[in-house]
């Protein structure tokens, strides 16, 4: 059956131009990428594009030139079904519960959601927190402990002589039988012992060696006998219940605050979205000016609409899909009837993709960036029960060369996308490579290539004079051979499957 043009994704491709200023390292003309303007795009096509390193900001879709750009940006995804919250995550959840129940904002954990400091069009701020690598058995291991008498002597108060200060330290020789026994094992802190026990639990049942997941359009590739879950099933169930309990059982009839979360389509045709637009735009401007130091003109209504409201994804509903359908959404957090925060999300056939998050800076101590990410992981798990193909939570780009962006690797288990073979590789195997070089091929099998690499332009679909046709027909009829190199480049970046489904606009 023939398809109407309105059922195709329609895009305009832009070849790589001169570099722009990098929002991560602030170097001028050093950020390089290829881009496309998506007039309309299906959720299926966008899913395949982000699995090849693309990312959208509004209707603009871009792909960093990984081996040339100053700060390579690697697509990262979290296995939502196997996610284990760490100690920091639990503290954030407990703090929110305490705030809702008693109205208390405990100081100490400041908001770690400093977010992606990149300039537009890369808008992807999520929470920032750094955790030690639990794989390192030597982390924070103290060589030995001082005897109490030595500690007191070494910390003796400063004495003053004629206006000048000098530290006096007593040297004390241990009596026989007192001191460290060299025959005994080194002393370790209790927290280091607990950390080692946790590391052993996380590694329990995990196969040895590099685990590379091939890129596949079928979701079954993520759960096969040769690719078992990375976490122990009992640990997953226990932690999953804990995450759900914290999120679903917050507040009550006697709570000091009431938090309501609404998921509304990003469309002015939706009444809930339209009525909350002014509050959302005002909150966005407040956040941008306070956190990112933008001017009022840089976060106007037009800018807000262009980058966070306009989307090429049209709302789609399928019998086997989630109840919300596929497309772009705003997850709104309402605190006592006032808009507290908004997460911009894309619901796709195999994942929940985070686009942007902004919040009221007056509530920074609640660590709302971390909290929102945990809510989005929980939402991914809930949608999996309705649409089993949805298994992953995409957190945008991981940028190892930018310390503020390394927090994304802590939402584990996680994978990074190999920029050459487009296979998924466990983040634990990628980080040592990125410590050595900011650009790296993660797939150690050098014979593995792009499984979706175009071999011919004959079936690449183009749109010309409002007519859809294969590129070879377009080329024969109108003899536009001068754009063959550009079309070939476009096809190599989007892959054969997308090139045969989407329409490349030819003016």
Residue 304: its H or E element: helix 301-304
pLDDT of res. 418:
98
213 with 222: CB under 8 angstroms? Answer: yes
Residue appearing with tokens 């971390």: 370
* Encoded tokens for 291: 């956190």
How large is the average pLDDT for residues 148-153?
34
Tell me if 192 is assigned to some domain.
Answer: no
How far from each other are the two terminal CA atoms of the chain, in whole angstroms?
27
pLDDT of res. 74:
98
Tell me if 145 is assigned to some domain.
Answer: no
The DSSP call for residue 153 is H
Does residue 448 carry a pLDDT above 60? yes
How large is the average pLDDT for residues 462-471?
94
Strand 503-505 and strand 461-464: the pairing is: parallel
Cβ-proximal residues to 353 (8 Å cutoff; 6+ apart), any chain? 50, 345, 346, 347, 394, 396
* Encoded tokens for 241: 């219940």
Tell me if 475 is assigned to some domain.
Answer: no
Tell me if 251 is assigned to some domain.
Answer: yes
Which range of residues forms the domain containing residue 11? 5-132+197-451
Give 401-416 pLDDT, tens digit per residue: 999 999 999 999 999 9
How large is the average pLDDT for residues 323-344?
97
Tell me if 255 is assigned to some domain.
Answer: yes
79 with 99: CB under 8 angstroms? Answer: no
How large is the average pLDDT for residues 72-87?
95
Q: Distance between CA atoms of 256 and 254, rounded to whole angstroms? A: 7
pLDDT of res. 140:
38
Q: What is the mean pLDDT of the chain?
A: 81
How many C-beta atoms surround the C-beta of residue 113 within 10 A? 27
Q: Distance between CA atoms of 257 and 100, rounded to whole angstroms? A: 5
Confidence of residue 214 (pLDDT cuts 50, 70, 90): low
Tell me if 302 is assigned to some domain.
Answer: yes
Looking at the 3D structure of the chain, how many domains does it have?
1
347 with 213: CB under 8 angstroms? Answer: no
The DSSP call for residue 307 is I
In this prediction the pTM is: 0.77
192 with 170: CB under 8 angstroms? Answer: no
245: nearest Cα among 94, 386, 82: 94
How large is the average pLDDT for residues 290-302?
96
Confidence of residue 118 (pLDDT cuts 50, 70, 90): very low
Confidence of residue 230 (pLDDT cuts 50, 70, 90): very low
Tell me if 463 is assigned to some domain.
Answer: no
Residue appearing with tokens 């490579």: 433
Check residues 15 and 233 and name the one with the higher pLDDT. Answer: 15
* Encoded tokens for 258: 């009431």
Does residue 59 carry a pLDDT above 60? yes
210: nearest Cα among 430, 453, 485: 430
Tell me if 380 is assigned to some domain.
Answer: yes
How large is the average pLDDT for residues 82-90?
91
**From 178-192, 359-373, 401-415, the region with the lowest mean pLDDT:** 178-192
């Amino acid at each position: 059956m023939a398809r109407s043009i309105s059922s195709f994704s329609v895009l305009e491709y832009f070849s790589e131009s001169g570099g722009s200023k990098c929002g991560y390292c602030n170097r001028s003309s050093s950020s390089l990428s290829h881009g496309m303007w998506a007039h309309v795009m299906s959720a299926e096509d966008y899913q395949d594009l982000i699995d090849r390193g693309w990312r959208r900001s509004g209707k603009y879709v871009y792909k960093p030139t990984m081996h040339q750009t100053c700060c390579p940006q690697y697509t990262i995804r979290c296995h939502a079904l196997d996610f284990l919250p760490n100690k920091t995550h639990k503290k954030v959840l407990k703090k929110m519960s305490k705030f809702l129940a008693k109205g208390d904002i405990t100081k100490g954990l400041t908001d770690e959601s400093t977010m992606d400091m990149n300039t537009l069009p890369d808008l992807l701020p999520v929470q920032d927190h750094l955790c030690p690598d639990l794989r390192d058995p030597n982390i924070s291991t103290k060589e030995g402990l001082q005897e109490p008498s030595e500690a007191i002597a070494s910390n003796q108060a400063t004495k003053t002589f004629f206006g000048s200060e000098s530290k006096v330290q007593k040297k004390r020789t241990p009596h026989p039988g007192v001191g460290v026994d060299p025959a005994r094992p080194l002393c370790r802190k209790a927290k280091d012992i607990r950390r080692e026990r946790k590391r052993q639990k996380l590694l329990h049942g995990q196969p040895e060696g590099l685990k590379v997941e091939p890129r596949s359009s079928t979701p079954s590739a993520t759960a096969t006998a040769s690719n078992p879950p990375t976490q122990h099933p009992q640990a997953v169930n226990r932690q999953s219940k804990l995450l759900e309990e914290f999120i679903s059982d917050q507040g009550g009839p006697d709570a000091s605050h009431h938090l309501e979360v609404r998921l509304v389509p990003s469309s002015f045709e939706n009444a809930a979205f339209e009525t909350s637009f002014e509050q959302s735009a005002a909150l966005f401007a407040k956040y941008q000016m306070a956190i990112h130091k933008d001017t009022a003109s840089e976060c106007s209504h037009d800018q807000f609409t262009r980058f966070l409201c306009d989307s090429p994804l049209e709302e789609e509903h399928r019998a086997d899909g989630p109840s919300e359908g596929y497309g772009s959404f705003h997850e709104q957090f309402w605190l006592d009837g006032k808009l507290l925060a908004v997460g911009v999300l894309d619901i796709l056939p195999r994942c929940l993709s985070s686009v942007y998050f902004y919040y009221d800076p007056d509530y920074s101590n609640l660590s709302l960036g971390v909290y929102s990410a945990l809510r989005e992981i929980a939402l991914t798990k809930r949608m999996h029960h309705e649409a089993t193909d949805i298994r992953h939570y995409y957190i945008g780009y991981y940028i190892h060369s930018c310390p503020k962006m390394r927090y994304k690797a802590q939402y584990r288990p996680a994978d990074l996308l190999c920029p050459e073979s487009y296979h998924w590789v466990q983040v634990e195997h990628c980080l040592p490579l990125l410590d050595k070089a900011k650009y790296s091929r993660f797939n150690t099998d050098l014979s593995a290539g792009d499984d979706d690499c175009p071999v011919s332009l004959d079936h690449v679909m183009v749109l010309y004079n409002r007519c859809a046709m294969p590129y070879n027909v377009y080329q024969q009829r109108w003899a536009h051979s001068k754009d063959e190199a550009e079309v070939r480049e476009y096809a190599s970046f989007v892959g054969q499957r997308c090139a045969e489904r989407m329409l490349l606009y030819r003016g």
